[in-house]
Structure 1
Amino acid sequence: MQNRKCYCNSQKNYDECCLPYLSNTTNPQTPEQLMRSRYSAFCTENIKYLVDTHYPLKREEKEEEILEETIKNTQWLGLKVLKKEKDKKESNIEYVEFAAFYQANNKYGQLHEKSKFIYENDKWYYVDGVLLEPIKIGRNEPCWCQSNKKFKKCHGKF
């Protein structure tokens, strides 16, 4: 994996970005780091990390099976972090809004979500998220797939 850009589009190398979290060498220090590492966990099929970083009270009974099915049928293509904000009432809760781009069943799709994170027992957890309408990508914006091409010359033509 050396010298590979991180899956999370941070522009850092994977070894220096999400790998330390996914290999349990260290814990994410911010909700954005956790969200990015969870995205990378989907890309690398790290189901254990996804379950471990999901808030225990919000885990599904068959969460591992659900994640396996999602991973089997989805190819994650790119991530765009849109906004971060702290909860106005609870100091241990923060939100990260993002758009994740994927391909499933030979079709491109987008997951636009405002995710809720909680800091508890010296660790950030993903709680849940609110799905939002897909974002529009400007024709001249960089493509979300890290191709270094403008969107219109890359995935914008599909």
Structure 2
Amino acid sequence: MAKRKRESGVEVCPCGSGEGYDACCGPLHRGEAVAPTAEALMRSRFSAFARGDADYLLQTWHPSTRPDDLTLDDGQRWLRLDLVDTAGGSLFEAAGEVEFRAHYRAGGRTGTVHERSRFVREDGRWFYVAEA
């Protein structure tokens, strides 16, 4: 997978924050930090899809809905994340929803996944539950 670089040579985070990956979603993916909000978890999960990190996706999937296995499509390239709306999911809440559009390219064609996702926070960690 091609990584986008800034002029300074820093890899740009796939989540669309404009920050460098190592300062944005990288610490979450490496287990050095946890997402503080549902939106931050959504962004880090998009970055995990873009980077092919199935382990992170499974770790951040709520146990009640988590699949036993997750195989990512190597031929699918995640291009851009657009956040549409958030409800709840702040530092002080235990549940939230994030609506987004995730743009991809596969088989020479582009497509978009439009979803509103539900998240819960348990023991200080946010988890993806399911499509709302």
Q: TM-score, normalised by structure 2?
A: 0.86
2-structure distance, mates of 1:71, 1:30: 27
Which structure's relative contact order is higher, taking Cα pairs within 8 Å and 6+ residues apart? Answer: 2
Q: 1:63-88, CA deviations, whole angstroms, 9 ceiling, x for partnerless residues?
A: 32xxx2x332311011111111028x
Instruction: Note the residue ranges of structure 1 that are not aligned, 5 or more in a row.
Output: 131-158
2-structure distance, mates of 1:124, 1:55: 9
Q: 1:42-81, CA deviations, whole angstroms, 9 ceiling, x for partnerless residues?
A: 11111110000000110123x32xxx2x332311011111
Correspondence 1:117-156 to 2 at 5 A: 117-130=119-132
Partner residue in 2 for 1:98? 100
Partner residue in 2 for 1:58? 65
Q: TM-score, normalised by structure 1?
A: 0.72
Partner residue in 2 for 1:40? 47
2-structure distance, mates of 1:112, 1:44: 20
How many residues are matched? 122
Q: Is the 8 A contact 1:22 1:37 kept in 2?
A: yes
2-structure distance, mates of 1:71, 1:49: 16
Q: Is the 8 A contact 1:42 1:71 kept in 2?
A: no
2-structure distance, mates of 1:57, 1:71: 24
Larger helix percent: 1
Q: Tell me how large the CA RMSD over aligned residues is.
A: 1.6
1-structure distance, mates of 2:50, 2:110: 16
Partner residue in 2 for 1:109? 111
Larger strand percent: 2
Aligned-residue offset at 1:117: 0.2
